[in-house]
């Protein structure tokens, strides 16, 4: 059966955009890492911890003590994620292989 999704999101002709979901009721898709961990540069689910007390600037504000994790795909592109306790992932950067500047960045803008 072919399914097509559009905006507002629909599923089997049922408009789900009006439904309210409780964040706590949604199952996690995967786990980046578990704390406490012993050392920086430890491997967790193909991610490598590169920093444990980074400062990261986002549209929402500046966060201290961010954990930075990186994943390298088969093309040697790097996805770098910044995790902050109480917020989760606050920023993600995508670097093409060999590049020093990110090709794309997304970050938290507001919390409601």
Beta bridge partners of 65: none
Paired tokens of 52: 């444990």
Lowest mean pLDDT across 14-18, 48-52, 82-86: 14-18
Q: pLDDT grade, residue 85 (50/70/90)?
A: confident
Alpha-carbon distance 94 to 54, whole Å? 18
What average pLDDT does range 52-77 have in this prediction?
92
Question: 28 or 10: which carries more pLDDT confidence?
Answer: 28
């Amino acid at each position: 059966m072919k399914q097509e999704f559009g905006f507002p999101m629909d599923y089997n002709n049922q408009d789900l955009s009006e439904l309210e979901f409780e964040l706590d009721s949604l199952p996690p898709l995967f786990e980046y890492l578990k704390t406490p961990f012993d050392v920086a540069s430890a491997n967790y689910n193909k991610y490598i911890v590169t920093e444990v007390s980074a400062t990261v600037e986002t549209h929402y504000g500046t966060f201290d003590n961010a954990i930075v994790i990186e994943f390298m795909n088969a093309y040697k592109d790097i996805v770098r994620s910044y995790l902050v306790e109480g917020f989760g992932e606050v920023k993600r950067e995508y670097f093409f292989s060999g590049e020093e500047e990110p090709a794309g960045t997304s970050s938290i803008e507001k919390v409601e």
